[in-house]
Structure 1
Amino acid sequence: MGCGDIGRRVGRLYQNEGVKAIGWVRGEESLRLGLEQGLAMRKGDVDQGSFFPIFALDEALVYWFMPPQPTGETDDRIRRFLKGVDAAPQRVVLISTTGVYGDCEGRWIDESEPLKPAAARAKRRADAENTVQEWAARFGGEIVILRVPGIYAPDRLPLERLQRGEPVLRAEEAPWTNRIHADDLALICKRAMEAAPAGAVYNATDGHPSTMTDYFNTVADYAGLPRPPQVSMEEAQMSMSAGMLSYLQESRRIRNDKLLTELGIRLQYPSLAAGLGMLEGQDSD
């Protein structure tokens, strides 16, 4: 559900095993890309109450990758979906966000950290977590929650922003951020579906955070572009979008020990430099 880039990557893992995967989308471009990959695609708009027939989801394994609607503090899409399908799915793997932790002032945290989402987008994701947990308790379905940070891959980098020369925060003021390579996230999703205990929650990060300024500098170096200019927080408040400023007001470093040990995940790309091919021979140890 919400078969965009990550959905297609997960679908490819199943295709490689000869297993049928169905992608649900609402946009023509996503539909086209899924069909070109050879996935069985369906098109519909959950906002308009459009679902799979319930019989088609009986005992299904559902990946919920669909983001919440862009406004409000509840995830009305997943609420509407689960109400429509009742007890049909066997297991749901939900992509949430590490934003549900709110600002941790740069501390190292793990899955035991209390949720304190501040931004509306994070509150919607926290609501989605609560919604699937309530659904599982009511119907006996299984859920796994993956709290995901920024997703990157060589084909999904902020190159246009760098080409425009948009500024970043001064290095000494920049918050800690976390990330995961898109291919590693796809592997994590599939492993969570297959092996995670019901009700489990994992931080799906690479465990190697850096500051947001470091991130943009590394991507610029990788792409052969000039590093972005740096501004103070005071200057940023006058020149950056409200969305970007909201990210700059939260800082956390997130552990992934539980992911690696409990699911036995071995990351292909355990750092940004490794994910961009800027290091040779680095592994997840």
Structure 2
Amino acid sequence: MQVMIFGAGYSGKAISNALKTETVAISGTTRSEDKFESLTAAGMTPFLFDGVHLNEDLLAAMGHVTHIVQSIAPGKEGDPLLALAGEDLKRLLPNLTWMAYLSTVGVYGDHDGAWVDETTPCRPVSARSVERVAAETAWAAATQKADVPLSILRLSGIYGPGRNAFMNFEKGTARRLVKKDQVFNRIRVEDIGAALAFLMRKNERGIFNVTDDEPCPPQDVVSFAATLMGVEPPPEQAFETADLTPMARSFYGENKRVSNARIRRLGFDFGFPEYKNSLRQLWENGLWRG
């Protein structure tokens, strides 16, 4: 089995780590040679991919790949890898037998805090989420034509070692933004890796929400992290008057609780289903800095 992770960043490295126990060769793409060392340390053979051109080394490696993970975000022009592959995936990936596409729960849009699952119609709010829906649809069509099983993993807010509320306190950027009745789901990055490895082993196809069990107001997470650190939480700020970038403000335009029941019914167990236990583990084990 030969796995290639396109866009092997924070989640890609966790996926590579989760696949280390499998009998696989793992490679990953990055836009910069400066990141080759970190990909190698994560167990991947690194390749350059700028999202526009496929160089000779990458093309040669793709000829042997059996499983791909697409983690690169689409843009206004669509999915960059699919644009290069065209209508025939097997032209560039002749040995492809399974694919995963990393998407986002943002595709569901705003549901006023109600529960959503994989059967909920997508009604995205932000431009980024609109592009994700289009990419999901395009990959579904391409993999169906190539007769390749596709698993779409819809991810909630990603955190873990090196990317968490403790880091925000250390950098002085922790904030407690309050918007009435607003809730978010989260997902520990190691659970993304574990879920993908689980779906790959089962050769699953379909859409799966990969998210925790505990949607809650974002300010609660900051307060709990402050308690663990033994520091005062930052003062609450009203969302309506807070100074936010347009991207940060757009996240608060989507309010929902996301169910992970479908992947659980297949037999998958999340390692970090509750943010309090997860943050406590990061803090007490000294893993929070990564």
Q: What's the TM-score once normalised by structure 2's chain length? A: 0.84
The amino acid that maps onto 2:157 is G
| Residues 24-49 of structure 1, C-alpha deviations (whole Å, 9 max, x = no match) | 21123432101133422212212234
User: What corresponds to 1:119 in structure 2?
Assistant: 126
1:26–1:43 CA contact under 8 A, matched in 2: yes
Query: Is 1:103 paired with 2:144?
Result: no
Q: Which moved more, 1:93-102 or 1:213-222?
A: 213-222
| Aligned with residue 97 of structure 2, among 87, 90, 97 | 90
1:179–1:205 CA contact under 8 A, matched in 2: yes
Give secondary structure in 1 for the equivalent of 2:86. Answer: helix
Would the alpha carbon gap of residues 252 and 226 (structure 1) be closer, same or farther in structure 2, given more than 3 Å must change? Answer: same
Would the alpha carbon gap of residues 153 and 59 (structure 1) be closer, same or farther in structure 2, given more than 3 Å must change? Answer: closer
Alignment of 1:1-285 (within 5 A): 1-50=6-55, 52-53=58-59, 56-58=62-64, 60-69=66-75, 72=76, 74-83=77-86, 86-87=89-90, 88=93, 89-159=96-166, 161-162=168-169, 163-164=171-172, 167-170=175-178, 173=180, 175-198=182-205, 200-236=206-242, 239-262=243-266, 264-277=267-280
Give secondary structure in 2 for the equivalent of 1:216. Answer: helix
Would the alpha carbon gap of residues 17 and 142 (structure 1) be closer, same or farther in structure 2, given more than 3 Å must change? Answer: closer
The whole-number CA distance in structure 2 between the counterparts of 1:278 and 1:36 is 24
Give secondary structure in 1 for the equivalent of 2:101. Answer: strand
Deviation at 1:61, TM superposition (A): 0.4
Q: Which moved more, 1:221-230 or 1:21-30?
A: 221-230
2:143–2:150 CA contact under 8 A, matched in 1: yes
| Residues 228-281 of structure 1, C-alpha deviations (whole Å, 9 max, x = no match) | 221223312xx222111111121100111111112x1111111111212269xx
Unaligned runs of 5+ in 2: 1-5, 283-290
The amino acid that maps onto 2:79 is D
Q: Which moved more, 1:46-55 or 1:31-40?
A: 46-55
The whole-number CA distance in structure 1 between the counterparts of 2:64 and 2:22 is 22
CA RMSD of aligned residues (A): 2.4
The whole-number CA distance in structure 2 between the counterparts of 1:165 and 1:39 is 32
Give the % identical residues: 23
Task: Say how many residue pairs are matched.
Answer: 271
1:222–1:278 CA contact under 8 A, matched in 2: no
Q: What's the TM-score once normalised by structure 1's chain length? A: 0.85
The amino acid that maps onto 1:211 is P
Give secondary structure in 1 for the equivalent of 2:271. Answer: coil
The whole-number CA distance in structure 1 between the counterparts of 2:165 and 2:55 is 33
The whole-number CA distance in structure 1 between the counterparts of 2:231 and 2:31 is 35
The whole-number CA distance in structure 2 between the counterparts of 1:164 and 1:179 is 22
1:60–1:90 CA contact under 8 A, matched in 2: yes
Give secondary structure in 2 for the equivalent of 1:202. Answer: strand
The whole-number CA distance in structure 2 between the counterparts of 1:166 and 1:137 is 44
User: What corresponds to 1:283 in structure 2?
Assistant: none
The amino acid that maps onto 2:38 is L
The whole-number CA distance in structure 2 between the counterparts of 1:235 and 1:147 is 31
| Residues 103-152 of structure 1, C-alpha deviations (whole Å, 9 max, x = no match) | 01000111111001110111111111011111022222221101000111
